[in-house]
Amino acid sequence: MGEHTLVTVDWPQSTATLLGPNSLANSIGDIHRKRRKVFAKVFSHEALESYLPKIQQVIQESLRVWSSNPEPINVYRESQRLSFTMAVRVLLGFRVSEEEMRHLFATFQDFVDNLFSLPIDLPFSGYRKGIRARDTLQKSIEKAIREKPLCSQGKDYSDALDVLMESAKENGTELTMQELKESTIELIFAAFATTASASTSLIMQLLRHPAVLERLREELRARGLLHNGCLMPGELRLDTIVSLKYLDCVIKEVLRLFTPVSGAYRTAMQTFELDGVQIPKGWSVMYSIRDTHDTSAVFKDVDAFDPDRFSQERGEDKEGRFHYLPFGGGVRSCLGKQLATLFLRILAIELASTSRFELATRQFPRVVTVPVVHPVDGLKVKFYGLDSNQNEIMAKSEELLGATV
SS (H, E, C) 15-59: HHHHHCCCCCCCCCHHHHHHHHHHHHHHHCHHHHHHHHHHHHHHH
By the 8 A CB rule, do 9 and 275 touch? no
Residue with more model confidence, 138 or 10:
138
Looking at residue 190, what is its pLDDT?
83
Q: Residue range 145-163: average pLDDT?
A: 71
Q: C-alpha angle 191/194/195, rounded to 5°?
A: 60
Looking at residue 388, what is its pLDDT?
41
Looking at residue 235, what is its pLDDT?
73
pLDDT, the chain, mean: 90
Q: Does domain 11-259+304-314+327-404 correspond to CATH entry 2.60.40.1180? A: no
Whether the per-residue pLDDT at 264 is higher than 70: the answer is yes
Nearby residues of 99 by Cβ (< 8 Å), 6 or more positions away? none
Looking at residue 147, what is its pLDDT?
87
Q: What is the pLDDT of residues 281-313, one digit of tens each?
A: 999 999 999 999 999 999 999 999 999 999 999
Looking at residue 86, what is its pLDDT?
94
The pLDDT > 90 percentage for the chain reads 71
Looking at residue 224, what is its pLDDT?
92
Q: What is the pLDDT of residues 359-382, one digit of tens each?
A: 999 999 999 998 899 999 999 999
The SS3 of residue 94 is: coil
Looking at residue 49, what is its pLDDT?
94
3-state DSSP helix/strand/coil % of the chain, to nearest 5: 55, 10, 35
Q: Residue range 172-183: average pLDDT?
A: 91
pLDDT band, very low/low/confident/very high, at 355 (cuts 50, 70, 90): confident
Query: For residues 376 and 364, what is the distance between their CA atoms, to the nearest angstrom?
Result: 10
Counting other chains too, the contacts that 169-174 makes at CB distance below 8 Å and 24 or more residues apart are 170/41, 171/34, 171/37, 171/38, 173/34, 173/38
